[in-house]
Structure 1
Amino acid sequence: MKHLSDYTAADLAELARQDVARALAEDVGTGDLTAALVDPARPARARILARESAVICGTPWVQAAVHALDPNARLTWHVTEGQRCEANQVVLSIEGLAQPLLSAERTALNFLQLLSAVATKTATFVQAVAGTRAAIVDTRKTLPGLRLAQKYAVTTGGGANHRVGLYDAVLIKENHIAAAGGVAAVLQRVRETAPQARFVEIEVETLAQLDEALRCGATMVLLDNMDIPTLQEAVHLNAGRAILEISGGVNLDTVRALAETGVDRISIGALTKDVKAIDFSMRFEAL
């Protein structure tokens, strides 16, 4: 499976099509009983409005939802992917047939409100650490079945992706170290068993563990739940040898101070786990 960074526009469109197909299957099912009240030949024009400021994300999913039910519908975006809209701004105009637009409405809005929420939250964290070397990074704490979509939204908001799943990179934690027989043993083992991994990262909880990991050749280290003074010492001890990432207890009140310690990456599960949907609505216009 390709990493998201290797996706082309066609790959992204296919991902959106697959996500939308599942969503429409659970929503429309055997048919939209309410939309059936409308003449199938009746044309319609609709607008999607943002009720609050947000970074727009999810245009491939919206387009896939509309075109799945009305292939000839015309969509005109007034705010492009990754741009910020303002409250009460029209972000999209649609012309097509009324019946399929009514059926696609909720699925299109669901993707737009979720992915825009992830992108907007990510952008807020990115702005909070501006001027430091720290990148804002996501985690695997995503909605089941929508991981790639949410990770795409993180990049749209200016963040970076961590591993996509258990298959593409290695993150060695305390239990892995204990089960494998220690830091040196586990790092040697991973070189033998996972040469295809995009990266190998090892988690440490103390400066002594960091020192051991560096002496064993670690190139990427996760500093777990360390306070600011300890993080500063860790950066000094590391001296640029490995990529340093921190996680645990990160929020908008703490992220700037954490970034100023000089770490390279800050991973935040809340980017995809604790999101509040952006408020969008679709309004039909008389023709």
Structure 2
Amino acid sequence: MNPTYAAPDALPDDLAGELWVAGLDPDAVRRLVLAGLDEDLPDGGVDTTSVATIPADQRGTAGINAREAGVVAGLGVAAAVFAVVMGDDVTIADRVPDGTRVAPGDRVMTVSGPTRGLLTAERTALNLASHLSGVATATSHWVEALAGTGARVLDTRKTLPGWRALQKYAVRCGGGVNHRFSLCDMAMVKDNHVVAAGGVVPALRAVREAFPGLPVEVEVTRLEELVELLDEGCDRVLLDNMTTATMAEAVRLRDAHPAGGGVELEASGGLTLARAREVAETGVDFISVGALTHSVTVFDLGLDLT
């Protein structure tokens, strides 16, 4: 254990319970926090600046404030950083719920405890909350663009290694919907699988034979492939890199097909926020956006000692 911070074996019960309810594993969050702190304090190192400038017995209060408009997420994870650094010697107050829309200057959390601990925890806490708030804010923009169309925005597996649960949680905070979490909970037949299997239908049949009952999504690039999958009763079809007009025709084919009622259509590939609404108005059920997690701009949060 690093002697320069508390590093408890578990998070406080109330915080751990809150993370569980949010769909996050408290111990996984604790391990990620420890990894982040170890980058700042490797091998038992100390926060040299804080040790030099702040008396060991000084206590303080800091506010975490939004410096732009958006949707916040990960504040419970940020609270975990302060708990890991200072143990029971920290008080969290005024924390707004994740998913809250905030304006510049809004206080999202107040933290009180040893001043050295507050500043040692600052960067790790802000790195986590700022990134996750960026994901939530980006997602909220897509949700707004799709409002009233019936289409929903999906994330992808294009996540930072080790951060998937957190990033997908932030997508939910922004109003989006999670796609599969892993390679196990849903089969997704992509172009390379289709090539290897010899076509979309052979690939679909192979998955159903190997894993009966598992949801299956198959990627298509041509309407002829869509019709083949409609005939097979595929669960979900991914329309890859299609024009808006072609997607509209795909929806028409699905709606006219006797077995099309249970088939969901997902638009993917090269989609932009500017194009979001016109794609949604074709009638697709989902729009998947890898940029929600792989190209997000961090949200500007700052910690100010009062």
TM-score of the pair, normalised by structure 2: 0.87
CA shift digits 1:204-258 (9 cap, x unpaired): 0111010011112211100011111111111011113411001012111100000
C-alpha separation in 1, matches of 2:151 and 2:22 = 28
Q: Pairwise mapping of residues 20-31 of structure 1 onto structure 2 (< 5 A)?
A: 20-29=33-42, 30-31=44-45
Residue number in structure 2 paired with 1:253: 274
1:232 aligned onto 2:248: yes
Deviation at residue 186 of structure 1 after TM alignment: 1.5
Match of 1:171 in 2: 188
User: Is 2:58 the counterpart of 1:35?
Assistant: no
Structural mapping, 1:29-68, within 5 Å: 29=42, 30-31=44-45, 32-37=47-52, 38-68=54-84
- What is the CA deviation profile of residues 32-88 of structure 1, one whole-angstrom value per residue up to 9, with x for unaligned ones? 222222333211111111110120100121011000011221111353211111101
Count of aligned pairs: 279
Instruction: Name the residue aligned to 2:304.
Output: 283
CA distance in 2, matches of 1:257, 1:22: 43
For residues 9 and 159 of structure 1, the distance between their equivalents in structure 2, rounded to whole angstroms, comes to 15
- Give deviations 1:110-141, integer Å, cap 9, x for gaps: 01110000000100100111001111000111
Q: Is the 8 A contact 2:226 2:250 kept in 1?
A: yes
Q: Deviations over 1:241-284 (max 9, x none)?
A: 41100101211110000000000000001111111111111111
Q: Does 2:172 align with 1:155? A: yes
* CA deviations over 1:156-203 (Å, ceiling 9, x no partner): 000011111223211101221221132222112111223474x21000
Match of 2:207 in 1: 190
- State the identity %: 43
CA contact (8 A) 1:49 1:281 kept: yes
The change in CA–CA distance for 1:12 and 1:60 in structure 2 (over 3 A counts) is farther
- Greater RCO (Cα-Cα under 8 Å, separation 6 or more): 1
Partner of 1:80: 97
Counterpart position of 1:103:
120
Is 1:206 matched up with 2:222? yes
The residue type paired with residue 123 of structure 1 is S
Aligned to 2:224, the other structure's residue is in SS state helix
In structure 2, C-alpha distance between the alignment counterparts of 1:86 and 1:184, rounded to whole Å: 50
> For residues 292 and 226 of structure 2, what CA distance do their matches in structure 1 show?
27
Query: When the two structures are superposed, what TM-score results if normalisation uses the length of structure 1?
Result: 0.92
5+ long unaligned stretches in structure 2: 1-19, 256-260
Q: Which moved more, 1:37-46 or 1:264-273?
A: 37-46
Instruction: Report the AA paired with residue 290 of structure 2.
Output: G
Which amino acid in 2 is paired with 1:139?
A: T
- Aligned amino acid, residue 49 of structure 2: T
Q: Structure 2: how far apart are the matches of 1:264 and 1:154?
A: 17
Matched, 1:91 2:104: no
Is contact 1:132-1:262 (8 Å) kept?
yes
Q: What SS does structure 1 have at the residue aligned with 2:82? A: helix
